[in-house]
Amino acid sequence: MSAVSAAAAVERCALGIRRARPTAASPATRHCPPSIRRGPRRHLALAAAAAARRGPVAPRAIATPADRASSDLLGKFTLDSNSELQVAVNPAPQGLVAEINLEVTNTTGSLILHWGALRPDRRDWLLPSRRPDGTAVYKNKALRTPFVKSGDNSTLRIEIDDPAVQAIEFLIFDEAQNKWFKSNGQNFQIQLQTSRYQGQGASGASSSTTVPEDLVQIQAYLRWERNGKQSYTPEQEKEEYEAARAELIEELNRGISLEKLRSRLTKAPESSESVSPASQSTVAKVPEDLVQVHAYIRWEKAGKPNYPPEKQLVEFEEARKELQAELDKGISVDQLRKKMLKGNIESKVSKQLKNKKYFSVERIQRKQRDVMQLLTKHKHTITADQVEVAPKQPTILDLFTKSLQEKDGCEVLSRKLFKFGDNEILAIATKDPRKMKVHLVTNHMEPLILHWSLAKKAGEWKAPPSNILPSGSKLLDKACETSFSESELDGLRYQVVEVELDDGGYKGMPFVLRSGETWIQNNGSDFYLDFSTRVTKNTKEIGDAGKGTAKALLERIADLEEDAQRSLMHRFNIAADLVDQARDAGLLGIVGLFVWIRFMATRQLIWNKNYNVKPREISKAQDRFTDDLENMYKTYPQYREILRMIMAAVGRGGEGDVGQRIRDEILVIQRNNDCKGGMMEEWHQKLHNNTSPDDVVICQALLDYIQSDLDISVYWDTLNKNGITKERLLSYDRAIHSEPNFRHEQKEGLLRDLGNYMRSLKAVHSGADLESAIATCMGYKSEGEGFMVGVQINPVKGLPSGFPELLEFVLDHVEDKSAEPLLEGLLEARAELQPLLLDSPERMKDLIFLDIALDSTFRTAIERSYEALNDAAPEKIMYFISLVLENLALSTDDNEDILYCLKGWNQALEMVKRKDDQWALYAKAFLDRIRLALASKGEQYYTMMQPSAEYLGSLLGVDQWAVNIFTEEIIRGGSAATLSALLNRFDPVLRNVAHLGSWQVISPVEVSGYVVVVDELLAVQNKSYDKPTILVAKSVKGEEEIPDGVVGVITPDMPDVLSHVSVRARNCKVLFATCFDSRTLSELEGHNQKLLSFKPTSADITYREITESELQQSSSPNAEAGNAVPSVSLVKKKFLGKYAISAEEFSEEMVGAKSRNIAYLKGKLPSWVGVPTSVAIPFGTFEKVLSDELNKEVAQTIQKLKSKLVQEDFSALGEIRKTVLNLTAPTQLVKELKEKMVGSGMPWPGNEGDQRWEQAWLAIKKVWASKWNERAYFSTRKVKLDHEYLSMAVLVQEIVNADYAFVIHTTNPSSGDSSEIYAEVVKGLGETLVGAYPGRAMSFVCKKDDLDSPKLLGYPSKPIGLFIRQSIIFRSDSNGEDLEGYAGAGLYDSVPMDEEDKAVLDYTTDPLIVDRGFRNSILSSIARAGHAIEELYGSPQDVEGVVKDGKIYVVQTRPQM
């Protein structure tokens, strides 16, 4: 190999070009990124230095002639024992074509050249456009050209017309032998004449001038920085690279030396050529290993960004320059090395060098585990006995308070309960229209003297005026003494002193007690009743106050709050005393304790009232409290989620979860310093949405601004010095538009509060809180000497293998700008901890606090990633959603639904990777299901926590705003809020890819009306609107009625297209649509009370504001659709003498259309469609049973309740339903029903025992009782049906224990297309489809002329499936269903004899979801069954059925309305 070739090899190595070594199956294709900004993370100069240190470079078989000008033959290469490759090059003058001629001797089979061209501005192979005949492109990364057979030899000629190409690289493949030929294990490389390239773009430059490639890269990078770091296309990158080369060549041609050029570009000291050797400095050079270490330290300080190669090179030279400056100051290399190589920095750098990942963040290898290993199923259930807490037996002090409150005109101003020994004393200040009184009442029955005074300011003892002294009092210098007198109330004895005050402007009453010679104080201090502490009037006695809470516990907490405010030691000790009472009160007791501690953590309660207490005393009290919580955590797993919240609020240091404090404390700062608007409010919103390290800078900028006497330029100077510009402030999701504008009187408070706040911000963003939690579990290392050095002291035992290294990884990356590796590490640590937290290890408390810190750090890291996700690809956003889902599952007690969501989401992510065309539709279903899970979690928290927050808040006088947002803030501070924000970002992406649009139009009707915004359709379903109204309803469940006067309903909810409310909307010609775009929905809500016109298509809706005259001129009949009353009537049915009939006896006089249709289908459908056996309890049977002497009292009660209904007392509806359940079955009914069921081949429930018959009888009565359902009753009123004429038959069928259930509309209900069948399918029983169960069913359409090709419209998102054992179902079959112009179907109940089992659904293993062939077969069969039934009836049908073991069963059909 020539020296030129060796130099070229070293240069290519320095450029960081990697060549994959081919195997028999994989040729060596170059995969090298472009030069600017997208290069490998490997540092270029480091590679060159490494190459230099290794000495001579190993030959790479680059065929380069010694004298290119004198010979066209570049060289010969031996391929095997009989074959040789000869290469000749015909170089061309600049601009013309160069030829490369290849000849392989003694070939037997066909040869292929696997090749590409090399250019200095590209890392990967260039694929020239000028190619020999037969050339094929291989994976867009290489060319493959066949040799031409010529006798025993094979030849090939390649022409290169690109003057920038310097060489070609290739391998040769023998197809017959399946063998690759290489050059000493490397690619062949053929250099073209280098002068073809030199000087390109450098006008006037000498063609012999060359510039080292590393300098060209630096110059290109500097140009890119100067131009504002624009995004270049590949063509622009190429132009920039060549422009940089031209600039450097021009400088060299002007006479600047290469060394000076290098010095200027790298800012390294240059050696002076004119200085004599004797005068040259002998300063030592920086060792390369220290340069590497220092470059790594600089990179860490910068937040570990991903540098492109050019920036890497600049960073290394900057590091070298800084170290050289240190040496120039006189420090020795050894001193420098000792200073730098502290801790594990050297191992970190060596790890990067070993892995060849320079300036790149390492990642952990996550264990492959089934996500269901994270399953916990401890549900938060509130039982009736927990809600209706038995009231505590009132004490004499309670009775005394109540007696005062019941006095006319008496107002309780302040109330304080004190404990002393086993007794209590209650101090109450009251006011009536004439005077103010202080009452001191105690259950201490020994002789007692009150030593008291009055105070106009804190700490004052002032003797009271003589004219207000109670009888028998003794006036002293600064006090008065009064003896307690005995009294009695409701048989309970007590002692009391009453003092009537004058209008002396007193602030309070200090006092102590004396019993004989013993003085009694309040824990060493004076008792004190503060007159200014107001209590909510009669809080405990107001209506439903305390309903849904552990009321007695909350009232106890309120009584003890005054003591708790003395210090955190007092509060934690009181909390520990209350743990047993909270546990005994069940879930609501634990919640009550949490609410109290949370109020404390958010600074809503006083922490310390000038009470001196040592830190170790606080720590001891805190340990006592958290030890009790730890014991309950071990024993009561159903409370673990709430117990974690309490421990997070308390924190390891008594100040709570530091991450949550960021959200809580900013509210307190705003309130305490009267700065709720402007910049502080905008910053508050940003902090709540996503706190980031920028917040540390913003906080410091505010502190500097205040300290500079409110000089706004100082604020901006601090921001700008730390890289935060006005544009950056505006770029946040919650932008900061305003400047701070504080008043001088706010300075002192803000300096104090923001200074404290800075500690919380730094603790979060430096990982200090996490570091402390880790240190507690891992133990600490002795700083001693000898054998004790490095010994770990007090670590938690039994931690998983490799766990310390995992936590070390987390700490190393906690401040990284790229959060993804950190997030993976945090999750892996939490997943490793989880088995321990489900067990009962030693020091459980320390592990819980560690898990809380890991969780808090995860949420903070996710929030600071928002900005980086703005332009991320869908796959990246989906991966982050997967991470957040897993974190939420690890923080949730009952996480089965969340884990199935995670499984499905991960499956969708795999579909993206393999480019499955259904990925977006599949992911959308799981996104919707995740949203349902989050909404359910939010509702659960609100139901569980908000009543306690409201009641305890009222007792403690907590600010109303803090009470109102209590549950909201809990949710916003958790992973659920983070997940929701990511889903909101991703939803439009999915809808766009899946072509779903922003609307789903369920009932496409053009309407005009007044917009009215309501929270839920259910709350207004019985209301009548006097003008055309379009409801924007935030919640629609699926079973509601459309109110009178409503012409349109818009909702973000997703009821099934075939749900009751959807069918009702279509029947009543009411617009009904789901809006998925939150911005559009907000815009509509902003039009509240305005007049709008809506025009729908099958997939979209347009709307505009119109005038009253346009509404009146509208010719559309739909303007009055909501007021239209169909003309329908009922024929009263009579009992025809039979309690039960078989299917052959079904007639219009005996049963409804549901029973008659099912009997009609029997024997008329194809054999592959089953119809269940049926019998019926006919019309009039209910009335007959009610008139039986057995049920006389029931009949009388129902008659009275009907009278209440006539008077529009609708509470009677529920009472009637309850009363119907008291009916007794006549013997004849039981006998006839048994005969008909057994005769039809159905099992008789009574054969399994009397209890089974009672279950069946109860189900029958529930069907009859559903005649008085609110929804059904008001629906009949709306169309003026006589409710008395409504008769209820009962269709009795065996339940098919379904795998799937479906509903078919044989004409597409959304489009009205009669050539297309529309159907929905759910897993399990059909009640989740027709009832108000959340989520969407699987939906599809199928053309009637192509029933083998169903088209999937949407995957299911319903989280719950219903399943039942072999049983009987009793279906409602009234004469008020399927009437012309009125759809009564679905109004009345169908009741199974046995209760259904609810199961959380895992769709990832369901063949209907994951097996396309199976899905196509089932959906096609469903469509065929619908078509067959439509053909049978000759009209569009609404069909319900089930699938069991692949067989279709139809359970009912009716005309499609």
Which residues are the active-site residues?
Answer: 1060
Asked whether the beta carbons of 903 and 869 are under 8 A apart, the reply is no
Asked whether the beta carbons of 479 and 420 are under 8 A apart, the reply is no
Asked whether the beta carbons of 675 and 777 are under 8 A apart, the reply is no
Q: Where are any strands of DSSP class E within 1084-1194?
A: 1091-1096, 1101-1105, 1141-1142, 1169-1170, 1174-1177
With the C-alpha atoms ordered 210, 213, 215, 221, is the resulting torsion angle positive or negative? positive
Residues making up the chain, counted from first to last: 1457
Q: Where are any strands of DSSP class E within 594-726?
A: none
- At 429 the three-state DSSP class reads strand
Residues 6 or more apart in contact with residue 100 via CB below 8 angstroms:
87, 88, 89, 90, 157, 158, 159, 160, 168, 190, 192
CA distances from 1019 to 943, 1022, 1033 (A): 18, 8, 10
Strand 1071-1075 and strand 1338-1343: the pairing is unpaired
Residues 6 or more apart in contact with residue 795 via CB below 8 angstroms:
777, 778, 779
- Rounded CA separation 360/947 (Å): 51
- Take residue 47 and report the two structure tokens written for it: 């590679």
Q: How far is CA 457 from the centre of its chain?
A: 52
Residue corresponding to tokens 């649009």? 997
- Rounded CA separation 527/238 (Å): 84
- Helix (H) or strand (E) segment spanning residue 979: helix 975-993
- Rounded CA separation 1302/543 (Å): 47
Q: Which residues pair with 515 in a beta bridge?
A: 518
- At 427 the three-state DSSP class reads strand
The CA-based angle 1409-1412-1415, given to 5 degrees, is 65
Q: Which residues pair with 1371 in a beta bridge?
A: 1291
The CA-based angle 703-705-709, given to 5 degrees, is 115
CA distances from 687 to 695, 758, 819 (A): 8, 13, 18
DSSP state, 183? B
Q: What is the DSSP string of 86-148?
A: EEEEE---TTS-EEEEEEE-S--S-EEEEEEEE-TT-SSPB--S---TT-EEETTTEEEEEPE
With the C-alpha atoms ordered 1443, 1448, 1454, 1457, is the resulting torsion angle positive or negative? positive
Residue 1165 phi, psi (nearest 5): -95, 160
- Helix (H) or strand (E) segment spanning residue 961: helix 960-964
Exposed, middle or buried: residue 1196 (CB in 10 Å: 0-12, 13-18, 19+)?
exposed
Strand 411-420 and strand 480-483: the pairing is unpaired
CA distances from 1182 to 1216, 1285, 1288, 1377, 1390 (A): 14, 13, 7, 18, 16
Residues 6 or more apart in contact with residue 1381 via CB below 8 angstroms:
1126, 1127, 1128
